[in-house]
Amino acid sequence: MSRRFQKRIEDFTCANCGSDVRGGGYTDHCPHCLWSRHVDVMPGDRASDCGGMMKPVEVRKQRGRYVIVYRCQRCGAVKKCRAAPEDSPDMLAEVMRRFGRCHP
């Protein structure tokens, strides 16, 4: 299995908020509510059988960029990904406020 990111251009409807999301090849979460699905083992491979909803539970700042930490609501796996420029700043702030964590 390749450890390199596999670019996939996929549009999807967010299973959490119902927003239609246009994928750009690197889109792995909803920019409106920040939720994701547990579909990858390695980024972009679509090899996970779980399919659970990934709840954003923390926002970290690493190397000058925000990183969203997710916990799968089905299997408990923890994953992280970089926030995208189109991500809602209000939702990023809400995750920070709700969970009391933003690690600069």
- For the chain of 104 residues, list the mean pLDDT of each consecutive stretch of 10: 66 95 85 95 87 95 92 96 94 86 49
Amino acid at position 50, single letter: C
Q: Per the domain annotation, does 1 fall within a domain?
A: no
Q: Per the domain annotation, does 5 fall within a domain?
A: no
Q: Per the domain annotation, does 4 fall within a domain?
A: no
**Tokens found for residue 83:** 């926030």
Amino acid at position 59, single letter: V
Domain boundaries, position 61? 12-99
Q: What's this model's pTM, rounded to 2 decimal places?
A: 0.83
| Number of folded domains that form the chain | 1
Q: Give the integer Cα–Cα distance in Å for 6 and 62.
A: 22
Residue 101: what pLDDT?
A: 54
Amino acid at position 37, single letter: R
